[in-house]
Structure 1
Amino acid sequence: MAESAFDIVSKFDMQEMNNAITQAEREIETRFDFKGSKSSLKLEKEELIVASDDEYKLTSVLDILQSKMIKRGLAIKNMEYGKIEPASAGTVRQRIKLKQGIEQDVAKKINVLIRDSKLKVKSQIQGDQIRVTGKSKDDLQAVMQMLRGADLQIDLQFTNFR
C-alpha cells in the first residue's frame, strides 16, 4: 500500500490582503466618524503600516480591517502587532508584521503534538513547512483535525495532499 502525505504550511494570501485593505479604506472614507481624519493603511512587502489621528481611531481602523479580513478568509492570528508610536503632525502609527511560514519553535511544538497523538504517521520539518506521511489517509485526516483543534499562535493550511 502506498504512503500518503500532506504538507502543513502557514501562508498569507497577499492579493486577498490587498483587497481587504482596499475595502477597509473605502469604508473609512465613507464613515462619518472618520470625516477629516488622517487615517491610512499601507502594505509594504510583509508589513502593514496603520496610521490615524489618535489611538482610539487607530483601534477603530484595525477593527474595520480585521472585519474585512475575516470576510475574505484571512487569518488574524498571523498578524504580529508592533507598539503604537507617535508619527508626524500629531498622528500615531502602528506596524503590523504579516507572518509567513512556520517558525522552528512552532514546528517543533507541532511535531510533538503529532508524536503524542499516537497515530501511525511520521512528520518532518522541511524549512518553513512540515511534511506528514502515513499509510492510512484516516490517520492523516485525524492529524489535520487534531491540529485544527490545537491552540497554536499561527493559522495552518494543509496542502499537497496525495
Structure 2
Amino acid sequence: MPSFDIVSEVDKHQLTNAVDQVNRTVSNRFDFKGVDAEVEMRDFSLMVCAEADIQLDQMVDMLRGALVKCDIDPLAMQIGGREQSGKQIKVGITLKNGLDKALSKKIVKLIKDEKLKVQAAIQGEQVRVTGKKRDDLQRVITLLKGTALEQPLQFNNFRD
C-alpha cells in the first residue's frame, strides 16, 4: 500500500553553512567594521548579537537570505524578544524542527475534510499518509503545498 511521511526538518549542516555565511558577511561589510556583531549557533537555536538595533535587524535579514540560499525555509525561524546586556543587544532565534501535536492534528483534519480515500496517522513528530492509489497521495501533497501553515513541510519516504 503506497504511503509517505509529512515532516518538518531543518538540515543541521545547511544551517551551519548559513550561519557561517552570515558571520563572514558581517566581518567583511564596511558598516560593521569595528563592531562586535556575530551569530552563535547551539543545536537548532541561534543567538544574534550586535551593538545597535539597526545592525541587529540587518543581521536577521542577512540570516533569512542565507537560509533561503541554503534551501531552508525562513518560516522555520521563530524570533524571540530582544535583550540588552551591556553594550550589546541580543535576540534569540529558534528553528522549528518536527511537527508539534497541534499542527499534526490540523494537518490530519485538513486531509480528512478533503474526503480523499487516504488515512492519516500521527506518529511522533511526523504524519504518515497511506492510501490505495498513488494519485490520492499526490493530491494530498498538492493540498498541503497550497495551504498556508505556520511551518514548512517536507514530504519524504514515499513508497509504492
TM-score for the superposition, normalised by structure 1:
0.96
Distance 2:117 2:123 in 1: 20
Helix, strand or coil for the counterpart of 2:19? Answer: helix
Q: 1:125 aligns with which of 114, 122, 144?
A: 122
Could you tell me which residue of structure 2 aligns to residue 101 of structure 1? 98
Unpaired runs of 5+ residues, structure 2, are none
Which amino acid in structure 1 is aligned with residue 137 of structure 2? L
Which amino acid in structure 2 is aligned with residue 122 of structure 1? Q
Distance 2:64 2:85 in 1: 22
Distance 1:57 1:102 in 2: 32
* 1:48-68 deviation line (CA, Å, top 9, x unaligned): 000001111001001111111
Could you tell me which residue of structure 2 aligns to residue 143 of structure 1? 140
* 1:26-72 deviation line (CA, Å, top 9, x unaligned): 11111111111111100012210000011110010011111111011
Number of residues of Structure 1 aligned to a counterpart in Structure 2: 159
The percentage of counterpart residues that share the same residue type is: 39
Could you tell me which residue of structure 1 aligns to residue 76 of structure 2? 78
TM-score for the superposition, normalised by structure 2:
0.97
Could you tell me which residue of structure 2 aligns to residue 33 of structure 1? 31
Deviation at 1:96, TM superposition (A): 0.7
* 1:65-100 deviation line (CA, Å, top 9, x unaligned): 111110111011111111011023x11000111111
Distance 1:82 1:49 in 2: 10
Could you tell me which residue of structure 1 aligns to residue 13 of structure 2? 15
Helix, strand or coil for the counterpart of 1:109? Answer: helix
Helix, strand or coil for the counterpart of 1:82? Answer: strand
Which amino acid in structure 1 is aligned with residue 94 of structure 2? K
Distance 1:37 1:59 in 2: 14
Which amino acid in structure 2 is aligned with residue 49 of structure 1? M
Distance 2:100 2:131 in 1: 23
Q: CA RMSD in A?
A: 0.8
Q: 2:58 aligns with which of 57, 60, 81?
A: 60
Q: 1:155 aligns with which of 144, 149, 152?
A: 152
